[in-house]
Amino acid sequence: MKLVKVAASVINQTPFDWSGNHERIRSVLRNARQQNISVLCLPELAISGYGCEDAFYMPHLAARSWQMLSDLLPECKGLVVSLGLPFFHRGALFNAIAVVADGKIVAIVPKKLLAGDGVHYEPRWFKPWPSGVIETIEIGDDKVVVGDVYVNCGGIKIGFEICEEAWVANRPGATLARLGVDIMMNPSASHFAFGKRQIRERFVAEGSRAFNVAYLYANLLGNESGRIIFDGGAMIASEGKIVGRGPRFGYQDFITTIAVVDIDLNRMNRARSGSFQPLIGEETGHSVDIDFDWPEIDGPASSEAEFADGWELAAELKAEEFTRAVALGLFDFLRKSRLHGFTISISGGVDSAAVTALAAMSIKLADSQIGMSGVKERLGYIAKIHNCHSVSDVVRSLISCAYQSTNNSSDLTEDAAKSVSEALGVEFYDWTVDELTETYKSIVGRATSTEWDWKTHDTTLQNIQARARGPSIWMLANLKNHLLLATSNRSEAAVGYATMDGDTCGGLSPLAGIDKAYLRRWLVWLEKTGPSGLGPVPAMAKVNQIPPTAELRPAAMHQTDEADLMPYDVLDLIERAAIRDKKSPREVYSTVTGKFPGATSEQRKLWVKRFFMLWCRNQWKRERYAPGFHLDDESLDPKTWCRFPILSGGFLEELQQLDGVK
């Protein structure tokens, strides 16, 4: 029985934060040595940060990353470690892993299969390393192998699948297994998306079973560079079971997950497998052979691990994930931008109530994990929180909401806004913008000889109210040095049901990645259940009882969002079919007919036509929205996911063909 103590660490890194990134990796390495770990897997591009974008083209970035790697070598004594960095070689840049054993670089393993879909643009910056190719470079007086290699450390073979390489059919692990690899490391930068945890678990557990190896998966953690949230969630598998499982959405700088694996048992299972066919011959693979003194460990090996957090087994897992992903994204965005809090224009409706709740929970969840001292340390640049004695004090000192009424606002929404703000413990302001809207109407009316009336000027009169709220809420945010949070959701972005420079005001749009239909369900969950450890917010009942409305028309006109557009469930269905699934208007109509057979043919045609016309007309708005968080494959972000021409023919021919459909 050959037992080895292995670990995978998730780290919250930031592009170009050289000193911070160095210190966090150094802390991970020191912690590993203190716990007598032998093999440590760190995330992909952990040295530079994954989200450097076109700055990867800067020669300085690769050079500075290599300098940091060199500086960290003394901290790697007694360890076999994977350290990810951009690597410049033969005039090209590679996404690579430096394999360090006992403080010495023993190999550079560049990534062979790059992630180039969705939010990932690796082929823009990096070149894929060709399979089977190896070269040698000189580092000082030493020669180091670069290429498609595995490392034989004192008789234990260690191979690599770098992030994307484990997600594809032709996994490198299959070949490495036939070469007799004992431990597989997967350094990853795998962004959060709903349901993705289960997929990762499958390829980690299945990799350990099919390849008969100990499999180590390490991910990045937190909001690294703005849009993408990394959920962490390190895993270690052996014999087809997850034997080490780290928490997700942590607020710590790093989290290390440890397990003891039985190398001999995996070898025996491989030998017993009738399907295993070893690759024999020097031409079949290249190993880097080094001496390494493996410490003796008394048994037993780690058994199957439970979830680190109980909420992972919650019936409403998506609600928990949404809450924790966006809350962590907000907390990291705040501290990395070094702003002093959040400001929200709260209307009493679903969107602004959700944004306010998520902002408050970003602080409360941080407190639940790292304590008040940890919150103060991470937000230490904000002087006023050092006098706070409780998480409630911090929430109130960091989050401000303003209800900005007009003559068309109702007592119901004002009461809802105030009640939610009080329940969440945020600072609440209440003022009117009627005088501003009347001033604008007077200025433009006199200049153009316009007599304003709702029948003729509906859109203009609605928009000026929303825009009149912009300067004052920006002023409040500037006064407090806050990050202004926009409140538009994905459904509204799809059809442009938002006023530019009105409800789109903000530096960050936390709801841009989620649809209105789900938001409404999530707020009911928040009212009645709430996230594990925090509990419900009963005051949300006042928001949930009000039909979504912009309240920009006079009350007598009974304005609601769904009357202006269509039922949100229908809008969500059409958006997914048309944008995510790329269906034509005729195919979307068939989808709507199948899901909503009770609607008339003319009603279904109206919904489909309205969506496509508004979608095409409002691409320019989506181009201008504040950055949002990526949550699933239904994102409409034109910069990272869903590209569409600003000008187009608007599906005119396809929509006309619907007229002949029954």
Strand (E) or helix (H) holding 88:
strand 80-89
Q: Mean pLDDT throughout 603-617? A: 97
Checking if the pLDDT of 283 tops 60, the result is: no
* DSSP3 helix / strand / coil % (the chain, rounded to 5): 45, 20, 35
Q: Mean pLDDT throughout 535-561? A: 94
CA dihedral 15, 16, 20, 23 (to 10 degrees): 90
Condensed to tens digits (0 to 9), the pLDDT of residues 92-110 reads 999 999 999 999 999 999 9
Is residue 4 within 8 Å of 261, Cβ to Cβ?
A: yes
Residue 282 has a pLDDT of 58
Checking if the pLDDT of 184 tops 80, the result is: yes
Residue 407 has a pLDDT of 94
Give 624: exposed, middle or buried? Use CB within 10 Å, 0-12, 13-18, 19+.
Answer: exposed
| 566-662 under CATH 3.30.70, yes or no | no
CA 66 to chain centre: 27
Closest Cα partner for 116 from 108, 126, 130, 107?
A: 126
Q: Mean pLDDT throughout 314-339? A: 97
pLDDT band at 273 (very low <50, low <70, confident <90, very high): confident
Condensed to tens digits (0 to 9), the pLDDT of residues 402-446 reads 999 999 999 999 999 999 999 999 999 999 999 999 999 999 999
Condensed to tens digits (0 to 9), the pLDDT of residues 204-241 reads 999 999 999 999 999 999 999 999 999 999 999 999 99
Residue 285 has a pLDDT of 67
Superfamily of domain 3-308: Carbon-nitrogen hydrolase (3.60.110.10)
**Distance (Å, rounded) from C-alpha 368 to C-alpha 361?**
10
Checking if the pLDDT of 274 tops 80, the result is: no
Residue 40 has a pLDDT of 98
Q: Mean pLDDT throughout 132-138? A: 93
Residue 278 has a pLDDT of 83
Radius of gyration of the chain (CA): 28
CATH code given to domain 313-550:
3.40.50.620
Residue 140 has a pLDDT of 83
Partners of 4 in the β-ladder? 261
pLDDT band at 284 (very low <50, low <70, confident <90, very high): low
Condensed to tens digits (0 to 9), the pLDDT of residues 139-179 reads 888 899 999 999 999 999 999 999 999 999 999 999 999 99
Checking if the pLDDT of 372 tops 80, the result is: yes
Which residues contact residue 612 at a Cβ distance below 8 angstroms, ignoring those fewer than 6 apart? 578, 585, 588, 650, 651, 654, 655
**Distance (Å, rounded) from C-alpha 251 to C-alpha 254?**
8
Q: Does the fold of domain 313-550 match that of domain 3-308? A: no
- Share of residues in the chain with pLDDT > 70 (%): 99
Q: Give the residue with greater pLDDT, 579 vs 660.
A: 579
Condensed to tens digits (0 to 9), the pLDDT of residues 612-637 reads 999 999 999 999 999 999 999 999 99
Query: What are the structural domain ranges in the chain?
Result: 3-308, 313-550, 566-662
